[in-house]
Amino acid sequence: MEVGFLGLGIMGKAMSMNLLRHGFKVTVWNRTLSKCDELVEHGASVAETPAAVVKKCKYTIAMLSDPSAAFSVVFGKDGILEQICAGKGYVDMSTVDADTSTKINEAITAKGGYFLEAPVSGSKKPAEDGQLVILAAGEKALYEEVIPAFNVMGKKSFYLGQVGNGAKMKLVVNMIMGSMINAFSEGLVLAGRSGLDPSVLLDVLDLGGIANPMFRLKGPTMIQGSHSPAFPLKHQQKDMRLALALGDETATSMPVAAAANEAFKKARSMGLGDLDFSAVYETVKALEQPSQKN
């Protein structure tokens, strides 16, 4: 099967590498074209523009940073719309909001193409291991046609119905995740300031009812103050912002998520946006320790 792949950041590189490893013919494009070199070494072809990828491939997958990037590759010069036509499918796996996906869907289908949104749950390592959870919605026929690619990139694919449902599901998941990492950060700092060993807290958490892979994976590196990016904090903050907008639309009160968003914004203002989202821990550590006398 031949596929195009747009966006070779942390996730796109790992996902397209997996496709190559499993025998797919892959044509890649990235805004910073030099990032294609490593994929070429592993057998990928390169196209100069998103339009050129779509011209060559029946199916094109994108994994881009945010709504503005997603719009840019579709509507911009040399973008998807210049070549999409009947018989061609476009699958956007970026995390965006439902409105962005809906507008892209309308533009693609107006040209006769097929569209599927398919954001993923799971970070750099699951992407490398082909263990993502894929949250697809949109054209069912396209979903069924690209299942071989989803099976290589992910461990489970959900088909969630109309366009927008994939984006919404992803934002709900990441709203919960972003809130959790904040509570976890506060717990680690509270343990340390209470004279407890934070690494023992990790062992205690891991044996109880709130044990989870995220605490297990991130805890030890957070304690060391190491936040090498798997999921960049700026993207987590984008997801909180989009989830809060969904809360606005649906009149859902989310004070915990709103507070978590403020912490991520603070982290960005401290220059931590390109680090892993676990760096929000540094915002809690940076808060002045209250006087013991009060």
Q: Give the residues lining the site for ligand LL5AMS7Z (CB under 6 A).
A: 95, 121-123, 174, 231
Residue closer to ligand LL5AMS7Z by CB (options 113, 164) is 164
Contacts (CB under 6 A) with ligand NDP, residues 10-69: 10-12, 30-32, 35, 63-66, 68-69
Residue closer to ligand LL5AMS7Z by CB (options 46, 133) is 133
Residue closer to ligand NDP by CB (options 64, 149) is 64
Angle of CA points 24, 133, 232, to nearest 5°: 95
Q: Which of 13, 88, 168, 170 is catalytic?
A: 170
155 binds ligand NDP (CB under 6 A): no
Q: How far is the CB of 96 from ligand NDP (least distance, A)?
A: 7
**Shortest-Cβ-distance residue relative to ligand LL5AMS7Z:** 123
Q: How crowded is residue 140: how many other Cβ atoms within 10 Å of its Cβ?
A: 13
The two three-digit tokens of residue 277, written as one number: 């989202």
Residue closer to ligand LL5AMS7Z by CB (options 27, 174) is 174
Q: What sign for the dihedral angle of Cα 81, 112, 171, 35?
A: negative
Q: How far is the CB of 7 from ligand NDP (least distance, A)?
A: 4
Task: Note the residue count of the chain.
Answer: 294
Could you give the C-alpha distances from 137 to 75, 112, 120, 241, in angstroms and in order?
A: 21, 18, 12, 22
Q: How far is the CB of 172 from ligand NDP (least distance, A)?
A: 14
What is the C-alpha separation between 134 and 86, in angstroms, rounded?
Answer: 25
Report DSSP letters for 229-244, one per residue: -SSBHHHHHHHHHHHH
What is the size of the binding site for ligand NDP (CB under 6 A)? Answer: 27
* Strand spans (E) along the chain: 2-6, 25-29, 45-46, 59-62, 89-92, 114-117, 120-121, 132-138, 154-159
Q: How far is the CB of 252 from ligand NDP (least distance, A)?
A: 21
8 binds ligand NDP (CB under 6 A): yes
Q: How far is the CB of 228 from ligand NDP (least distance, A)?
A: 12
123 binds ligand NDP (CB under 6 A): yes
Asked if 183 and 201 count as a contact pair (C-beta separation under 8 A), the reply is no
Q: How many CA atoms lie within 13 Å of 146's alpha carbon, on the beta-carbon side?
A: 35
230 binds ligand NDP (CB under 6 A): yes
Could you give the C-alpha distances from 273 to 9, 51, 112, 276, in angstroms and in order?
A: 15, 31, 39, 8
58 annotated active-site? no
Q: Which residues bind ligand NDP (CB under 6 A)?
A: 7-12, 30-32, 35, 63-66, 68-69, 72-73, 94-95, 120, 123-124, 230-232, 235
Please list the active-site residues. Answer: 170
